[in-house]
Structure 1
Amino acid sequence: MAFRWRSFALAMLIGLLSFADGARAAAPQVPVLWDAKERLPKPDLSTLPRLRFLTTTDFPPFNFLDGAGKLSGFHIDLARAICAELGIVEKCQIQALPWAELEGALRKGEGEAIIAGIAATPESRATYAFSRSYLQFPARFIMPKGKALTEPIFDKLHGKRVGVISGSAHERMLRDYFNTVQVVPFDRPEDAAGCCRFAGGPYLAPEYLGSGMAIATKADNPALAAAIDYALQEISMKGTFAEFYLRYFPVSFF
């Protein structure tokens, strides 16, 4: 099974939530990954019999069972919005399966798309066609509350001690991009609990942090992935994505 964004995203989210009471941006920032000047063609899906999204129940806040046992989450709302933009609400279904069964279910035709955090890598692209990324996870600096640090911060960090999760992509990025700091590796995101606020802006580095979250279809169905791209762009341009993002990530990591 392909590498899952879950392992990276959960580590990031645990760290984010552990200091959520103290970490605040000046105002909520919503990532915009689409060029407003680019207009994707609206697909004709009149011959599509159905669009079944496959997901899991164990990846909050993206997909999970709420207190009433109802499938909920960022991905669930996003899948429904995609179907609405494509004009196929009546053909749209969302089914939850164990993570290990997703690839086989798609291969056997038990679904048309997976929205569960499969990472788009050179290896996974041999199995899947992917939509464009709809969400990326940036690197952020945090610092003790009551102190301020604004961009550009490279020179301001010269010789400073900077903590980072040991062995992570963030550690590699920190050592390569900020080679004048004193790197202090630590084992648990929770070690920053309650201490901090965001400092400076987000750093997007696909070469370290990956290309972001995307929706997977069968490798021989790039047309469906392209149709999903159209819907994702419309969702972003109309502000629907921002509504979902702020609903599930009230402490923005951007």
Structure 2
Amino acid sequence: MKNMKSKLLIFSTLVLVIALVLGISGCKKEEEKTTLIMGTEASFPPFEFTDENNEPIGFDVDLARAVAEEMGLELEVRDQPFDGLIGALQANQIDIVAAGMTITPERQETVAFSNPYYNAKQSVIVRAGENLVTSMEDLANLNIAVQMGTTGAAKAEEIKGTADDTSLKQYEKVNEAFMELTNGRVDAIIIDVPVGASYMKQFEGLEVVEAIDFEDEQFGIAVRKDNEELLNDVNTALDNIMSSGKYDELIQKWFGQ
């Protein structure tokens, strides 16, 4: 009887040891991360858009890939609605957001941002020759189109608050707003300067309202607030990319500057 108990004890001990070894091995495999998952919304050229094969390309994609390479990782890009990117980040579905996302106090309450990597500014685009807009006040009584969840949308909401009859139309993709403008269903679009310039090459008969000037904004790469290690790695990678000249190459490639 004692011999049987001893055998059972030895067997149980072996099973426990094997389970612990497999568990440790599994943890190591999980720790050996090989891919950096980037969330973006690919209708925001030249920062992110899709090529003829429907693959995401653009300045943010190339920059994030360079960041991943600095970290010894491959980059995986996931295209999804802009206003859902922070939620996807918080749900651990993606590792970073690189999507022409402006660093704002409101967003900093829920995510952490890298050091700024691009200085941006909003613009107002209208149909050429109509002279509907010459000042910020004019926008209050017009139909304004924006992309959901953007700082352009936040600015339009501020303007909307100055007049009861303002109509604010929010779209998931920027190209939808431009189609509505060219078709006469909205009067103006508030959009980042480079993005507006890119779409104006596709949609004819539009112009920028030069008389309206917005404050400067800065884009950053967003990570989860509790992932300080990744934030530090991203910032180190950005520093290396900027000091090596790679950043200037990407600026020249995508903006011609």
Question: TM-score normalized by structure 2?
Answer: 0.52
1:217 aligns with 2:223: yes
Contact 1:130-1:222 at 8 Å conserved across structures? no
Partner of 1:60: 45
Partner of 2:202: none
Contact 1:131-1:216 at 8 Å conserved across structures? yes
Higher RCO (CA < 8 A, seq sep 6+):
1
Structure 1 residues 84 and 73: alpha-carbon distance in aligned structure 2, compared to 1, 3 A threshold: same
Unpaired runs of 5+ residues, structure 1, are 1-45, 140-162, 170-186, 197-204
Q: Give the secondary-structure state (helix, strand or coil) at the position aligned to 2:120.
A: coil
Amino acid at match of 1:82: V
Between Structure 1 and Structure 2, whose CA radius of gyration is higher?
A: 2
Partner of 1:238: 244
Amino acid at match of 1:58: S
Partner of 2:81: 98
1:79 aligns with 2:64: yes
1:51 aligns with 2:36: yes
* Alpha-carbon distance between aligned partners in 2 of 1:164 and 1:75, rounded to the nearest angstrom: 33
Partner of 2:99: 116
**1:29-40 correspondence to structure 2 within 5 Å:** none
Number of aligned positions between the proteins:
154
Q: Percent of pairs identical after alignment?
A: 28
**1:126-137 correspondence to structure 2 within 5 Å:** 126-137=109-120
CA-to-partner distance for each residue in 1:140-161, whole Å, 9 max, x for gaps? xxxxxxxxxxxxxxxxxxxxxx
Question: TM-score normalized by structure 1?
Answer: 0.52
Structure 1 residues 227 and 118: alpha-carbon distance in aligned structure 2, compared to 1, 3 A threshold: same
Partner of 2:55: 70
Contact 1:56-1:99 at 8 Å conserved across structures? yes
CA-to-partner distance for each residue in 1:77-122, whole Å, 9 max, x for gaps? 1111111111223xx3221112132122112111111111222111
Unpaired runs of 5+ residues, structure 2, are 1-29, 123-132, 140-150, 152-187, 190-195, 197-205
Q: Give the secondary-structure state (helix, strand or coil) at the position aligned to 2:108.
A: helix
* Alpha-carbon distance between aligned partners in 2 of 1:116 and 1:83, rounded to the nearest angstrom: 15
**How well do the aligned residues superpose, as a CA RMSD in angstroms?**
3.3
Amino acid at match of 1:132: N
